Every structure is written in structure tokens, then in C-alpha cells.
Structure 1
Amino acid sequence: MKFYIKQNKVLFIVTILVNVIASLGYVFMAILLQQLLDIALGKDMQHFVRMVLFSIFYFAVLGIFLYLQSLLSKKVICKIMRQIRSDVFQGTVNHSIEDFNKKNTADYISIITNDVKMIEDNYLLPLFEVVQYAVIFTASFLLMIYFDIIVTVYVIAAIAIMFLIPGFLGNSLEKRQKRYSSKLADFTVSLKDMLSGFEIIKSYSMKRYVIQRFNKENDETINSKYSVDRLLALNEGVSSFLALMVQIVVLFLSAYFIITGRITVGTLLGMVQVSSNLANPLVMIFTNIPKIKSIQPIVEKLQSISQYSLSHLQKEHISSFDFCVCTKDLGFSYDKQKEVLNEINCTIEKGKKYVVVGKSGCGKSTLIKLLAGYYSDYAGTIKYDNRELGLLDRNDVAQLSSIIHQNIYMFDETIHDNICLHEDYPQEMIDNVVMESGLAEFISEIPEGLLHQVGENGADLSGGQKQRIAVARALIRNKPILILDEGTSAVDMQTAYDIENRLLQIKDLTIITITHHLRTELLEKYDTIICMDYGKIIEKGTFNELVSNNSIFLNNLS
């Protein structure tokens, strides 16, 4: 948090100064009250009029500073909150696909929303309150000495006891805040999971179950929050009791000193006012200090994400794919126990067309994700033009290929935005990819054309329309490698054939297709068919070579 305060140090310092002035102005009202009462008791009208005029001016200036105090503190908090959210989101986006997938998406949502809000509520707001009330307490303490030293000694004794409270509760509160943050993340994950499956819930009459599940998660989250609030309540209760004792000590001692003639009635009023400025600030200070300390685990979590870096090593840049991508003895496991790929040896040459076939779960999609640089923890080697993938800049590798997945994600924007992804392309290029992807007929039938809003994740589109947009999205980037992971499975067979056939005719485009639709007229157009089973390549070759060798994959041809 110190980093963000330093970034806004000018505004922060100005806010603190205004805070100090406003707090001092609030405290010295006690002197005004003391003098006003003594003047009234002395029946000095001339002094009384001057005091009234001065008080009007004093309160007007104090009101301005109180407004500035509130305004500036809110402004600096808003700036810091914006920077924290921006840094955490940027750090999240900087994650590799491999590292990003180690958490549920809802975890990141919870961190950016819930945890950042906890920073505001339990660090920034309490920090300004501690500064404000520390000034009020210090000034009030000095005024108390000014009014009477003996009363001050008794006040110090009560304050010493109050100093012990945050130390007893701080560590326990920190642990509970950490558990509460974790529970908020779990709650967000569960809520996202249930709402994402809304159609399944309605179709399979799961309403009763999801309500019970939600209530259980909600109860656990609230109980976790209440465990934090319960400790805060104990801290506030004890602090308030001791603060009340301070005021009682001041009141009774002051009354005694009036009887003995040591102080005036005006001084009694001033001391009572000052004692409240001692007691109440102490309550706020000792309430907020545990909050500030308890937020440290949350701060560390946010820093770990916002300061995420793929690697501290200098990676080699790669801007082109000139010859081939090859693997040697490639192996991979998601859980370090069951191997998904084992001893994969293959070569993908520039400009050639490859189709990967095999049963579901045989490792086809994992292979292409490894080739595209999704994962780094693999056995064996993957080389781009004889350069090891692990030594290359991951962002550069991502720019060499476009992947069209079976499950296409659409942003809640226009068709144009989902194709161009907010990059500038000539209209001619856009028109070309609309034709090549088979989108032209659909676009011509809707009034808005390319400006049609697709809805949440393309809710207003059919599966085929989404996949056509995904094809256009990939083609317009003109990357040297195009990967279709069942990329035309949601369109009708004729459209799928037309799209693949057009893609296969692009001379310099390297294509890797994963498919279950083994159609002879398309397979013949591929340079190499790679057949996989149980995480291994069991055979490969041209269509004619595999037919002549009575390949086992022929049984699946449609």
C-alpha cells in the first residue's frame, strides 16, 4: 500500500494537512466554550459580542476545512482504489493461460471486487480516521494539561490500559479476515457456477438443490464475516467502556476542583468537551488499528497478482515462423500422475495442412495447446525453427497462431467488435473474411449488419453463427498457423466443408485441424493425417498412404 500512497503523495500530503487543520479546529472549540461560559458568568457584554463575532468566523472557516477534509480523503481513496483495481486486472491479464487456469475465474472476480473493497473499508478509510483522531487526541491531551495537570495524570492511567487492547486482538483478527476473504472467493466461485448452469437448472428441475446449495454457501460466508465482526465488536465494546471511564474521571474530578475553587465553571465545560475528544478518538483509533493490521494478508494477495511476471529470465523474441514446429519425445501430465501425452514425435512444416484424428480423450487438444505455448511444464522438446519453446517469449509465440475452439467465447459487443477485437482493419479485409467464413448471408439478413449486438457470450447467435465469427476473427489476423479444434463442428456439414475447403486452399497458411468428422473428400486435401490413441501418435501419413496400409482410422470415415 505504501507504493500507492507514494504515487499520490502530493494529494495524500495535502489531504493530511487539511485533515490536521480541521481536527485542530474541532478540538479548540473547547477553549471557545470555556471562555464563552466564563464571560457569560462574568456578565461582560462587550467581550460576549466580540466572542460571538469571532465564533461565527471561526465556525465558517472550520466548516470549509471539514468539507475539504471529506472531499480530499474521498478523492485520494478513489484514485488509489482505481490504481489497485487496474494493477490487479493488468496482473491477471499478464498471466499465462497455464497459470490463469490454476484458479477459478470467479476467484479473480472476487479478488478484484471483494478483496479490493476490503482494502478500502479496512485499510484506507481506517487509515485516515486514525490520522484524524490521532491529531484530535494529541491536541486534546495538550489542552487537558493546559486546563489541569492532575486530571491529566488520571486520564493517562486509563489510556495506558486502552493501549493493550489492539495487541490482544490483532493476530486473531488477521486470521479471521484471511478466512473471510477465502470464503468470499469460494462463495463467488459457487455463485458463478450455479448461474452459468441456469439452463441445466431449469431443464432438470434442480431449483430445490441450488437453493439449498446457495443457502449453505451464504450461511457459511455470513458466519465467516460474523466471526470477524464479533471480534471487532469486542474491541469496540471494551474501548468504549474505557473511554466512558475517562469521561467519568474527568467529570467527577473537575466537579471536585470547582468545589475546592481550583478551577472555574468554564474550565469544567472545556475539560468535559476535551475529555470527549480524548475518549471518542481513542475508541476510533483502537477500533481501526486492528482492522489495518488484519488486512495485511489481503494486501499480499493483491500484490502477488498485480506484480505477476511470467519469468525473470530474458526470453528470446520470435517474430516469424519460417520452417517448422517439431516435437521430440514430448510428454505431458496435468496432475503429475496420469500422462496425457507420451513420447510424441512430429513435425509441422510451414504452409502444410495437418489433421489430427483419434478418439475423445486421446490427447489431441492437449497436443495443439502445447504447440501453441499454453503450457510450459512438459517433458521432451518443442522447437520453433530449431529454437526451444521454453526459451521464447510466450507472447511472441501466441502471435504466431490463431486457435478456433469448439466452444467459442463472444464478448457482449457487436459482430464487428468480436471479429476485429478493437483493432483497425481495412473494410476490404473485413469483407473478405466475412465471405470466407460463410458469414455474408447472415450479415445481409439482419438490419444492423456487422453492428448487431451478440449478447452475453453470443446469446443472440446460434452455435454455427458464433463459429463463423470465430473463423473470421482468426482469418483477419493473417497469422501463419491456424488451429481448428473442432472449429466447424457447430455448423452444418455443407458449410463446414465450404469453410475448411476455402482454408485448405490458402497456400502459405499452416493448418492443424482436430476433427471427429472424417470426410474422405476433405481428408484427401490434407498433407498429413496424424492418428492418435492413448496419448501417442500411432500412425501418420497422407490419406492415400493410410488407405493403402489399411489404417485403423478408416473405420471411422463418414
Structure 2
Amino acid sequence: MVKYLKEFKFENFMVFLLITIDIALAVLSSVFLANVLNSLIAREMNQFFLWLAIDIVLWVVDSFFQGARDVWKEIAIQKQLNAVRRDIIEPLTEISYSDFEKNSKEDYNSWLNNDTKLLYDNGFHQIYFVYTGIVAMLFSGIAIIFFHWVLLLTTLLVGAILFYFPKVFKKSVERDTEQVSDVANDALATSTDYLRGYEVLYHNKQLGLMQERTMGKFNQLATANVKLIFTRAWMQYSLLGANMLGQFLILAVAGFLIMNGQIGIGVVMSVGNLSGTVTNYSKSVANRLILLNATGKLLEKYGKIADESKVTDGEEVTDFESKLELKNLSVAFPDGQKIEYPEIVIEKGEEICDYRG
């Protein structure tokens, strides 16, 4: 996906810039909360209302940047998704017909729709989330060290544990994501085939077969989706439990420093927000990196479309059989019924009349 980030440099620059400004304002607001609480404890009303007003202004300005960030993010993602679709369709205009037939039309259609939906949710959105997490952890860490270095050390320790913990689930998420993509392709191909053959099934009273086979595939897709969600939920809630333990440890250290007079009571509110940012993003970034890596593998199969054998615009196709023969053609159904077609020979140049009615 780095290819598409580079292709749309300006759009992504705007997204990353707005994310950075948003995080900077949010961290600054958290730092000022310590001044708000310390002023309140000291009963300095003028200082209290001053810092409170500053915090409100920061919140209003940050809200504007958040809106701009979301708009630019959607612009960048939509352009990148269309670039992915372009890279799927463009090779189809250059390869030979035999190479085109190596994948079904349903496969191509699924890549253009089902896979791009996965890339939207679990691909490009995750890239921006990971960047947001990295910037948030960096700025929060810088802010925490101004309160006390022990708090930063404790926060980094908890963050490191939460960052590496999700790697336990890496292979499971990759496997289940790929399975959802494959089953979705299969379900789309099956439903398309049976709908195309509706007339044959109708005249032979086999419409129940269409329902049985099609719903069977969609039930498999439902099972695959549930399995993926279960794996992701198990990973996320395991991380949530570890995160809560880490938060308790940080608050315990902050309480110890307050009781020893090394930091003010007002710092608790700021440290709670900032350390929470570091630990929450530590586990979330690790989680999203696994999801992003699993989803990024979908792009690998699109590169297999192109082939060295290409048909140029001026090339004439002349190597084909002089006649078309259909022999031993039949369609069998599960209940034992069978439709058998007679042998048909169509000579080159022969005109064929198609009677429908």
C-alpha cells in the first residue's frame, strides 16, 4: 500500500499534517488540565478560569482540525481505492484472452468490490490510525517527562508490553482475513453461475438446487466472517485486560510520587490522560499493524494478473479451429435427472439462427 501513499503525496501529506496538529492540540490540552486542577486546589479562581478558558479554546480549534482531517482522509482513501481498481482493470486490457480466463469474471468482480471494501476498512484506515498512534505516543511521552521521568519510564514499560502482546494473534488474524476474501469470491461466483443458469433450472424444476448451493456458500461466508470477528475480539479484549493492569500500575506510581511531594496533585489528571494515550495506542497500534499486514496481502494476488504474453492493438488473431464440435454434452442434477444434448458441429463461416421463444 506504500505505492498508493506515494502516488497521492499531497493528499496524504494533508492527512498526516492535520493528524499531527490534532494530536498536538489534544496533548497540550491534557497538559493544561494539571494547571486547571492545581489552581482549583489552591483556590486561585483567576488562574483557574484562565486555564479553563485556554482549554476550551484549544478544544474548539481542535474540533475544526478534526473535521478537516476526516474530510481529507476520505479524499485520500477514495483516490487510493480507485488506483487499486485501476491496477486491477488496466492489466486486463493488455493480457491475452487465455490469461484473462485464468481467473473467473466473478473473481475480478470480487476484487473490485469485496476486496476494496476490506482495503477501505482494514487497510488505508489502519495506516492513518497507526500514524495517529505513533504521533500521540511521541507527544504524550514528551509531555509526561516534564512531570517526572519515573512516570515516563513506567509508561514506556507498560506500552512496550502492550505493543508486543498482540503478535501472539498475528497468524490467526492473517489466516482468517484471507479466508473471508476467498470464501467471498467463491460465494459471488456460485450465486452468479446459478442466476445465469436460471432458465435451465426452471425448465427442469431444479430451482431448489439454486437455493441449496447458493445459500450454502453464503452460510460459509457468514461463518468465516464470524470467525474473523471472534479472533479479533479475543485479541482486543485480551489487550484491554492487560491495558487496565498497566493503567493501575501507572496510577500507583503517580500516587507514590504525590505522597512523597515530588509532583502536585493536579498532575494526576494530566498523567492519567497522557499515560492512557500511550498505553491505549500501544496495544491498538500493534493490533492494527497485524490487521494491516493481513489485509495488505490481498494486493499480492492482483500482481499475478499481468503476463508476459500480451495482445497488442494491431495483432490479428488467426489461429483458430475451422469448426466447433460439441460432443457428450449433458447436465446432471442431484435427483438423478440428466439433460443430454445432441452432437453439434458448426463449420467455420456457417450462419447460425438462434430461435428463442
Fold agreement, TM-score > 0.5: yes
2:354 maps to which of 487, 490, 501 = 490
Whether the 8 Å CA contact 1:174–1:295 is kept in 2: the answer is yes
Shift of 1:110: 0.9
Alignment-derived partner of residue 56 in structure 1: 56
1:406 is matched with none
* CA distance in structure 1 between the partners assigned to 2:42 and 2:239 by the alignment: 39
Q: Kindly indicate whether residue 245 of structure 2 is the aligned counterpart of residue 245 of structure 1.
A: yes
Residues 357/63 of structure 1: CA separation in 2 closer, same or farther (3 Å cut):
closer
Q: Residue 116 of structure 2 corresponds to which residue in structure 1?
A: 116
| Paired letter, 1:139 | F
CA distance in 2, matches of 1:357, 1:36: 89
Q: CA deviation at 1:293?
A: 1.2
Structure 2 CA distance for partners of 1:485 and 1:282, relative to 1, 3 Å? farther
In the other structure, the counterpart of 1:146 is 146
CA distance in 2, matches of 1:187, 1:95: 26
Partner Cα distance (1:155, 1:17) in 2: 26
Equivalent positions of 1:436-451 (< 5 A) are none
> Residue 76 of structure 1 aligns to which amino acid in structure 2?
A
Contact 2:123 2:296 in 1 (8 A): no
Q: Counterpart in 1 of 2:3?
A: 3
User: What letter matches 2:266 in structure 1?
Assistant: G
Residue 129 of structure 1: CA displacement?
A: 0.4
Secondary structure in 2 matching 1:69? helix
Structure 2 vs 1, CA of residues 244 and 358 (structure 1 numbering), >3 Å: closer, same or farther? Answer: closer
Q: Which residue of 2 aligns with 1:501?
A: none
Larger radius of gyration: 1
Counterpart for residue 217 of structure 2: 217
Tell me the secondary structure at the aligned position of residue 28 of structure 1. helix
1:247 shift after superposition: 1.4
Matched, 1:311 2:295: no
State the one-letter code of the partner of 2:353. Answer: S
- For 1:229 and 1:109, the matched residues in 2 are separated by 24
Look up the equivalent residue of 1:97 and give its one-letter code. Answer: Y
Distance, in Å, in 2 between the alignment partners of 1:486 and 1:48 is 94
1:471: which partner in 2?
none
Unmatched tracts of structure 2, length 5 or more: 329-346
Indicate how the Cα distance of structure 1 residues 29 and 113 shifts in structure 2: closer, same or farther if over 3 A, else same.
Answer: same
Greater share of helix residues, 1 or 2? 2
Q: Displacement of 1:149 after TM fit?
A: 1.9
Q: Supply the AA of the counterpart residue of 2:289.
A: I
Counterpart Cα distance in 1 of 2:112 and 2:313? 32
Q: 1:111 to 1:158 in 2, by over 3 A?
A: same
Shift of residue 132, structure 1, vs aligned partner: 0.6
Equivalent residues of 1:239, 1:282 under 8 A apart: no
> Following the alignment from structure 2 to structure 1, what is the Cα–Cα distance between the partners of residues 250 and 150?
10
Corresponding letter in the other structure for 1:311 = S
Amino acid at match of 1:62: D
Amino acid at match of 1:140: S
2-structure distance, mates of 1:56, 1:135: 22
Aligned residues: 339
Alpha-carbon distance in structure 2 between the residues aligned to 1:168 and 1:216:
32
Instruction: State how 1:336-485 maps to structure 2 within 5 Å.
Output: 360-361=326-327
Structure 1 position 491, deviation (Å): 5.6
Q: Is the 8 A contact 1:235 1:286 kept in 2?
A: no
Is 1:15 aligned to residue 15 of structure 2? yes
CA distance in 2, matches of 1:151, 1:316: 68
| Cα displacement (A) at 1:221 | 1.7
CA displacement at 1:49 relative to structure 2: 3.3
1:75 aligned to 2:75? yes
Q: 1: CA distance between counterparts of 2:111 and 2:313? A: 33
- Alignment gaps of 5+ in structure 1: 331-340, 342-355, 363-482, 493-558
TM-score, normalised by the number of residues in structure 2: 0.85
Aligned-pair Cα RMSD in Å: 2.9
1:284 corresponding residue in structure 2: 284
Q: Deviations over 1:369-423 (max 9, x none)?
A: xxxxxxxxxxxxxxxxxxxxxxxxxxxxxxxxxxxxxxxxxxxxxxxxxxxxxxx
Does the Cα contact within 8 Å between 1:174 and 1:296 map onto a contact in 2?
no
The percentage of aligned residue pairs carrying the same residue is 18
Cα drift, residue 11 of structure 1 = 1.5
Kindly indicate whether the alpha-carbon contact (under 8 Å) linking 2:22 and 2:66 is maintained by their aligned counterparts in 1: yes
Q: Given that residues 137 and 277 in structure 1 are in contact (C-alpha distance below 8 angstroms), is that contact kept between their aligned partners in structure 2?
A: yes
Q: Which residue of 1 aligns with 2:344?
A: none
The answer (yes or no) to whether the contact 2:177–2:294 under 8 Å persists in 1 is yes
Letter in 1 for 2:151: V
**Cα deviation digits, residues 4-42 of structure 1 (max 9, x gap):** 211101221121111111112112221121111111122
Letter in 2 for 1:200: V
How far apart, in 2, do the equivalents of 1:143 and 1:210 lie?
A: 63
Where 1:147 maps in the other structure, the secondary structure is coil
The 5 A counterparts of 1:96-245 are 96-245=96-245
Report the TM-score when normalising by structure 1. 0.56
How much does 1:359 deviate?
A: 5.8
2-structure distance, mates of 1:244, 1:185: 40
For 2:60 and 2:324, the matched residues in 1 are separated by: 81
Report the Cα distance in structure 2 between the residues aligned to 1:105 and 1:237, rounded to whole angstroms.
40
Deviation at 1:317, TM superposition (A): 5.2
Distance 1:317 1:208, change over 3 A: closer
Distance verdict in 2 for CA 1:94–1:20, change over 3 Å: same
Distance 1:57 1:206, change over 3 A: same
Q: Distance in 1 between matches of 2:229 and 2:30?
A: 34
One-letter identity of the residue aligned with 1:51: W
Deviation at 1:204, TM superposition (A): 3.2
User: In 1, Cα distance between the equivalents of 2:54 and 2:326?
Assistant: 86
Aligned mates of 2:254, 2:19 — CA distance in 1? 30
Offset at residue 315 of structure 1 (A): 7.2
2:337: which partner in 1? Answer: none
Distance in 1 (CA, whole Å) between partners of 2:97 and 2:313 is 19
Shift of 1:117: 1.6
2:41 maps to amino acid? L
Aligned to 1:38: 38
Which position in structure 2 is the counterpart of 1:263?
A: 263
CA distance in 2, matches of 1:491, 1:208: 28
Supply the AA of the counterpart residue of 1:296: G
